Amino acid sequence: MDDVVFKLLLLLGREHVSEDQEKYARGLLVQLKDWNRFMSLAHAKMVSGFVYQNLERIGGVDPEILERWRQLYRGVALNALRVRAEMQAFQQTCIAPTAARSVFFKGPALAETYYASPSLRPSRDLDVLIPDEDFEAVFRAALEQGYWVAVTEETRPERPDEETCQALLKYSSVINFLSPRGVHVEMHRHLDKHTKLFPTEDLVTSAEDLVLAGTTYKVLPLDMLLCYVCFHNSRHVWSHLHWLSDLDAIVRNPDFDRGRAMEVARRKGLDQLVEACLEMHALVAALWTWTEDQKQTPGGKLLSLCEMNLAGGLEVEEEIRTSLGWRSVPYKEFLSPKMQRRLRRRQAIHRFHPTIREYLEWPLPERWHFMYYFTRLIWRVRLHVLKTA
pLDDT attached to residue 369: 80
CATH number for the domain spanning 92: value is: 3.30.460
Instruction: Please state, in angstroms and as integers, the Cα–Cα distance from residue 171 to each residue in 151, 164, 185, 275, following that order.
Output: 11, 10, 18, 35
Residues 228 and 129 in one domain: no
Question: In 34-98, at which residue ranges do the beta strands (DSSP E only) sit?
Answer: none
Tell me if 68 is assigned to some domain. Answer: no
Residues 182 and 263 in one domain: no
Residues 304 and 208 in one domain: no
pTM of this structure: 0.90
Among the candidates 168, 189, 220, a domain finishes at: 220
Tell me if 243 is assigned to some domain. Answer: yes
pLDDT attached to residue 2: 52
Instruction: Please state, in angstroms and as integers, the Cα–Cα distance from residue 224 to each residue in 121, 210, 220, 249, following that order.
Output: 20, 15, 6, 15
Residues 197 and 177 in one domain: yes
Mean pLDDT, each 10-residue run in order, the chain (389 residues): 84 95 94 94 95 95 96 96 98 98 97 96 96 98 97 86 93 95 97 85 97 97 97 89 97 97 94 95 89 83 85 72 62 72 74 77 79 75 66
pLDDT attached to residue 58: 93
User: Residue 50 belongs to what domain range?
Assistant: 1-61
Residues 215 and 90 in one domain: yes
Residues 236 and 164 in one domain: no
Residues 110 and 206 in one domain: yes
Residues 6+ apart with CB under 8 A from 128: 90, 95, 102, 103, 104, 105, 185, 186, 187, 188
Tell me if 347 is assigned to some domain. Answer: no
Residues 210 and 254 in one domain: no
Residues 213 and 286 in one domain: no
pLDDT attached to residue 1: 44
**Which of 221-236 are b and which e, b meaning 16 or more Cβ less than 10 Å from the residue's Cβ?**
ebbbbbbbbbbbbbbb
Among the candidates 220, 243, 269, a domain finishes at: 220
If one counts the domains in the chain, the total is: 4
Q: What is the DSSP string of 108-152?
A: HHHHHHH-SSGGGS---EEEEE--HHHHHHHHHHHHHTT-EEESS
Residues 208 and 227 in one domain: no
Among the candidates 220, 246, 280, a domain finishes at: 220
Residues 151 and 57 in one domain: no
pLDDT attached to residue 346: 74
Residues 203 and 237 in one domain: no
pLDDT attached to residue 281: 96
pLDDT attached to residue 87: 98
pLDDT attached to residue 143: 98
